[in-house]
Amino acid sequence: MPKLNSHYGKLQASYLFAEIAKRVEEYSTQNPEKSIIRLGIGDVTEPLPAACVEALKEAADELSKRETFKGYPSYEGYAFLRNPIAQQDFQDLGAEVYADEIFVSDGAKSDTANIQEIFAEDNRIAVPDPVYPVYVDSNVMAGRTGLAESGRYEGLVYLECTPENNYLPELPQEKVDLIYLCFPNNPTGAHISREKLTEWVNYALAENAIIFYDAAYVAFIRDESMPKSIYEIPGARKCAIEFRSFSKNAGFTGTRCAYTVIPKELQVGGKSLHQMWFRRQATKFNGVSYPVQKAAAAVYSEAGQAQVKTLTDFYLGNARIVRESLNGFGLKCTGGDNSPYIWVQVNGASWDFFDKLLHNAGVVCTPGAGFGKCGEGHIRISAFNSRANVLKAMERLQKVF
Ligand code: MLT
């Protein structure tokens, strides 16, 4: 009889957003007349930028002709996409990243989940708490933890992010090998200053640790003093891997495209992580489709840049409305200024609050406890929705409060 991966038995029954979807589905089946506004999962609602749509159509036409047809893409992505990424997302900021250090992929979720595969099982892992559940669950599946107790897995080092430290993780007090950081943060919306990020890079260099830096929400940064890439910090090329996504800037949650940067000089014990990841991708991944990479490349055109700015400004406008409304109801919030997420302190258990908003207002949020122990007493509200729905949701919440 085949044996199963027993580590799956340590996981909570369902993935956070699957659990929310299940509860919302149950509620809506029992109350078919009730309209529901989803401010839970960070899924975009506005159409793709026009420049991306045009590029998708042109690429589809190319595939219809023998002379311009394309088969398998390269494992790392087409140069027409990797070149502008290197130039505009990094070099223009003074960050040293080269096109051949970029791996185009189908999502930052898959990359942040899979990256642990190239590291040994007995690495000590640090994660912020609250945390995007993918970082934790992928390590649980890989057998790097013991059992969960009171919402925490034995063997992981949790970096507490609370109102007292403005939701910014502090340097670990014990030796760790791999550190997950996400800025602007999911779920808290907090962002890190250049000085604080420099402390992390210096720590990782001194302790021979690697930072996994998830910058999926970078397009929402409006405060120019804040770092957009960890490679803006000297020394980061020797200790950090960065993850980016087209999901939240250009609305590709359904279209799927992202990328990961692994600098050539990033090594562990003389072994190149870049080469190891290439080996992994070449074995397990066959690249992102040509039309989707063409659409992603259009983000870097002049028109694409302007359209992405309009799109992210739009969601930030929603975030401002949410934040101001909640403040008006007397709730304390962070995020929503350089982030599409608003992290709200609530009285009591976050799943109770989730139920209260769903049942009394037909508004879906994400309960903070789903992101970890320190998420308890909080909910996350996503600004990804139409303006009309956000306004309607705030009107309904006003009645609840
Ligand atoms: C979220 O809501 O946290 C994100 O949409 C999840 C994701 O990007 O996978």
pLDDT digits (tens, 9 = 90+) for 68-94: 999 999 999 999 999 999 999 999 999
Q: Is 90 exceeded by the pLDDT of residue 2? A: yes
Instruction: State whether residue 108 is helix, strand or coil.
Output: helix
Do 217 and 278 fall within a single domain?
A: yes
Do 15 and 121 fall within a single domain?
A: no
Q: Residue 196 falls within a domain, yes or no?
A: yes
Do 136 and 285 fall within a single domain?
A: yes
Would you say the CB of residue 41 lies under 6 angstroms from ligand 1?
A: yes
Element (H, E) at 24: helix 16-30
Q: Is 80 exceeded by the pLDDT of residue 13? A: no
Q: Residue 32 falls within a domain, yes or no?
A: yes
Two tokens at 154? 């034995």
Do 114 and 16 fall within a single domain?
A: no
The residue-averaged pLDDT of 247-255 equals 98
Nearest Cα residue to 42 out of 121, 171, 134: 134
Instruction: Note the pLDDT tens digit of each residue in 111-133.
Output: 999 999 999 999 999 999 999 99
Sequence-ordered alpha helix ranges (H) in 226-336: 273-284, 290-298, 302-328
CATH of the domain at 25: 3.90.1150.10
Please state, in angstroms and rounded to a whole number, the distance separating the CA atoms of residues 273 and 254. Answer: 29
CA Rg value for the chain: 21
Please state, in angstroms and rounded to a whole number, the distance separating the CA atoms of residues 245 and 82. Answer: 13
Domain that holds residue 182: 52-300
Residue 256 Cα, ligand 1 centroid: separation in angstroms?
A: 13
The residue-averaged pLDDT of 30-47 equals 96
Place of tokens 């037909």: 362
Please state, in angstroms and rounded to a whole number, the distance separating the CA atoms of residues 353 and 199. Answer: 36
Do 135 and 269 fall within a single domain?
A: yes
Task: With cut-offs at 50, 70 and 90, classify the pLDDT of residue 378.
Answer: very high
Of 186, 243, 257, 339, best ligand 1 pocket probe by most atoms within 8 Å of the beta carbon:
186
Please state, in angstroms and rounded to a whole number, the distance separating the CA atoms of residues 116 and 114. Answer: 5
Cβ-count burial 253-288 (b if 16+ within 10 Å, e if not): bebbbbbbbbbeebeeeeebbbebbeebbeeebebb
Closest atom of ligand 1 to 132 CA is 3
Do 147 and 242 fall within a single domain?
A: yes
* Whether the Cβ atoms of residue 398 and residue 360 lie closer than 8 Å to each other: no
CA separation (Å) from 84 to 74, 93, 130, 296?
17, 13, 34, 10
Q: Is 90 exceeded by the pLDDT of residue 15? A: no
Do 164 and 96 fall within a single domain?
A: yes
The residue-averaged pLDDT of 204-224 equals 98
**Dihedral of CA 269/200/108/114: which sign?**
positive
CATH of the domain at 174: 3.40.640.10
Would you say the CB of residue 77 lies under 6 angstroms from ligand 1?
A: no
Would you say the CB of residue 109 lies under 6 angstroms from ligand 1?
A: yes
Please state, in angstroms and rounded to a whole number, the distance separating the CA atoms of residues 221 and 14. Answer: 32
What does pLDDT average to over the chain? 97
Please state, in angstroms and rounded to a whole number, the distance separating the CA atoms of residues 303 and 34. Answer: 40
Q: Residue 112 falls within a domain, yes or no?
A: yes
Closest atom of ligand 1 to 187 CA is 3
- Strands 102-105, 258-261: parallel, antiparallel or unpaired by DSSP? antiparallel
The residue-averaged pLDDT of 195-214 equals 98
Two tokens at 7? 């580590």
Question: Which residue has the least CA distance to atom 5 on ligand 1?
Answer: 42
* Whether the Cβ atoms of residue 176 and residue 125 lie closer than 8 Å to each other: yes
Closest atom of ligand 1 to 216 CA is 8
Q: Is 90 exceeded by the pLDDT of residue 229? A: yes
Would you say the CB of residue 144 lies under 6 angstroms from ligand 1?
A: no
Q: Is 90 exceeded by the pLDDT of residue 368? A: yes
Q: What is the pLDDT of residue 151?
A: 84
Please state, in angstroms and rounded to a whole number, the distance separating the CA atoms of residues 217 and 235. Answer: 23
Q: What is the pLDDT of residue 347?
A: 83
Do 112 and 64 fall within a single domain?
A: yes
Question: Which residue has the least CA distance to atom 1 on ligand 1?
Answer: 42
Query: DSSP for 116-179?
Result: GGGS-TT--EEEEES--HHHHHHHHHTT----EETTEETTPEEEE--GGGTT-PPPPSS--SEE
Q: What is the pLDDT of residue 12?
A: 83
Would you say the CB of residue 186 lies under 6 angstroms from ligand 1?
A: yes
Do 286 and 391 fall within a single domain?
A: no
Residue 365 Cα, ligand 1 centroid: separation in angstroms?
A: 13
Task: With cut-offs at 50, 70 and 90, classify the pLDDT of residue 313.
Answer: very high
Task: With cut-offs at 50, 70 and 90, classify the pLDDT of residue 178.
Answer: very high
Q: Residue 283 falls within a domain, yes or no?
A: yes
Please state, in angstroms and rounded to a whole number, the distance separating the CA atoms of residues 376 and 161. Answer: 11
Task: With cut-offs at 50, 70 and 90, classify the pLDDT of residue 66.
Answer: very high
Instruction: Please say which residue of 259, 276, 300 terminates a domain.
Output: 300
Instruction: Please say which residue of 300, 319, 334 terminates a domain.
Output: 300
Between 7-21, 27-41, 349-363, the lowest mean confidence (pLDDT) is in 7-21
Q: What is the pLDDT of residue 104?
A: 98
Closest atom of ligand 1 to 247 CA is 8
Would you say the CB of residue 189 lies under 6 angstroms from ligand 1?
A: no
This prediction has a pTM of 0.97
Instruction: Please say which residue of 272, 300, 328 terminates a domain.
Output: 300
Task: With cut-offs at 50, 70 and 90, classify the pLDDT of residue 140.
Answer: very high
Do 148 and 295 fall within a single domain?
A: yes
Task: List CB contacts of 148: < 8 A, sequence separation 6 or more.
Answer: 10, 12, 140, 154
The residue type at 215:
A
- Strands 258-261, 240-245: parallel, antiparallel or unpaired by DSSP? antiparallel
Share of the chain above pLDDT 90, in %: 97
Q: Residue 1 falls within a domain, yes or no?
A: no
Task: With cut-offs at 50, 70 and 90, classify the pLDDT of residue 249.
Answer: very high
Task: With cut-offs at 50, 70 and 90, classify the pLDDT of residue 337.
Answer: very high
Do 177 and 293 fall within a single domain?
A: yes
Closest atom of ligand 1 to 40 CA is 2
Instruction: Note the pLDDT tens digit of each residue in 91-105.
Output: 999 999 999 999 999
Q: What is the pLDDT of residue 14?
A: 80
Residue 387 Cα, ligand 1 centroid: separation in angstroms?
A: 20
Instruction: State whether residue 344 is helix, strand or coil.
Output: strand
Would you say the CB of residue 49 lies under 6 angstroms from ligand 1?
A: no
Q: Residue 392 falls within a domain, yes or no?
A: yes
Residue 397 Cα, ligand 1 centroid: separation in angstroms?
A: 23
The domain tally of the chain equals: 2
Q: Residue 270 falls within a domain, yes or no?
A: yes
Q: What is the pLDDT of residue 150?
A: 84
Residue 354 Cα, ligand 1 centroid: separation in angstroms?
A: 17
Would you say the CB of residue 42 lies under 6 angstroms from ligand 1?
A: yes
Q: Residue 225 falls within a domain, yes or no?
A: yes
Of 41, 255, 315, best ligand 1 pocket probe by most atoms within 8 Å of the beta carbon:
41
Do 137 and 269 fall within a single domain?
A: yes
Of 43, 137, 371, best ligand 1 pocket probe by most atoms within 8 Å of the beta carbon:
43
Q: What is the pLDDT of residue 98?
A: 98
